[in-house]
Amino acid sequence: MNIMPSTNKIIPSAAAIHDLSGAGKCSLTVVLPVLSVCGVETSVMPTAVLSTHTGGFEGFTYRDLTEDLLPTARHWKSCGLSFGALYSGFLGSERQIKLIQEIFSLFRAPETLVLVDPVMGDNGKLYRTYTQEMARGMKELCESADLITPNMTEACHLLGRPYCPGPYREEEILEILQELLKLGLSGAVLTGVCFDEQQVGAACLERSKGKMETFLLSRVAGSYHGTGDLFSAVLLGGLLNRMSLSLACETAVEFTHRCIVSTRESGAEPRFGPKFEAHLPYLGRKMEEYRKKIANS
């Protein structure tokens, strides 16, 4: 159970277990292109198919695929598939959360990185599909992960702490990360971290290092849907390219910021998701440069 295995055995491959929201860019429509451009061979397990995500749209369709999850996993296993990372995000029911735990057990090997993005809410509120039971289940799922990437709302919910919109004190952020590690994780990355009104970003803490690192960039006004998924996918792409957690975190903060700036400048409604596509070649180059750098060192 490690974030950065010390061997060269890390496999740049992942199983991404998220919903497929047809429009409004989030979950699989963000995760798959990001991981692919990072050079990660990605198998996708859609947990549900929706016409749009549930944030800011009314009347969306929702085709539940819970019954397909274990048969898909068993089929993959019978095909001899294995993954460098298992990565889950937004989930639709308590039962799905339990099944994901089973799927993790099926594929987990000593070198596997299990990343759970405990997608539950934002701005102090749980998403409307989230029940208290699901939130409890999500805590259990986090306990079976190596690394989690909650935002401040999700971290407070996982820890039973009152939510506050910030700015925060550094000691507060460190305390939250330390409490998250007590869930049994090797590392935690907290997003939505800010120490003043001007900047926002993420902080990470690795059990083996014990030192918190923060990466902040200028705050762009507004709330941008799908950026949590974007952040986690870039982070995982970096880790599977053998970046350290702090470098992967810095890369994810910078890339997410770049996409938020483009979204803001485009004047598009934030509910239609981040404008990340034009920046994918840049991300691909960054990952390639890093691969070359470590190959020569």
User: Which residue, 3 or 26, is less far from ligand PXL as judged by CB?
Assistant: 26
Provide the pairing of β-strand 199-206 with 62-64: unpaired
User: Which residue, 19 or 250, is less far from ligand PXL as judged by CB?
Assistant: 19
In 3D space, the residue among 119, 62, 60 whose CA is nearest the CA of residue 90 turns out to be 119
User: Which residue, 54 or 112, is less far from ligand PXL as judged by CB?
Assistant: 54
In the complex, the smallest distance separating the C-beta of residue 238 from ligand PXL, rounded to whole angstroms, is 20
In the complex, the smallest distance separating the C-beta of residue 4 from ligand PXL, rounded to whole angstroms, is 26
In the complex, the smallest distance separating the C-beta of residue 18 from ligand PXL, rounded to whole angstroms, is 7
In the complex, the smallest distance separating the C-beta of residue 55 from ligand PXL, rounded to whole angstroms, is 3
Are 224 and 274 in contact by the 8 Å Cβ rule? The answer is: yes
In the complex, the smallest distance separating the C-beta of residue 165 from ligand PXL, rounded to whole angstroms, is 18
User: Which residue, 22 or 167, is less far from ligand PXL as judged by CB?
Assistant: 22
User: Which residue, 10 or 234, is less far from ligand PXL as judged by CB?
Assistant: 234
Specify the amino acid at residue 178.
Answer: Q
In 3D space, the residue among 266, 261, 235 whose CA is nearest the CA of residue 249 turns out to be 235
Q: How far apart are CA 84 and CA 172, in angstroms?
A: 33
> Which residues of this protein are in contact with ligand PXL, per CB under 6 A?
19, 21, 26-27, 50, 53-55, 90, 119, 127, 226, 228-229
In the complex, the smallest distance separating the C-beta of residue 226 from ligand PXL, rounded to whole angstroms, is 5
User: Which residue, 195 or 255, is less far from ligand PXL as judged by CB?
Assistant: 255
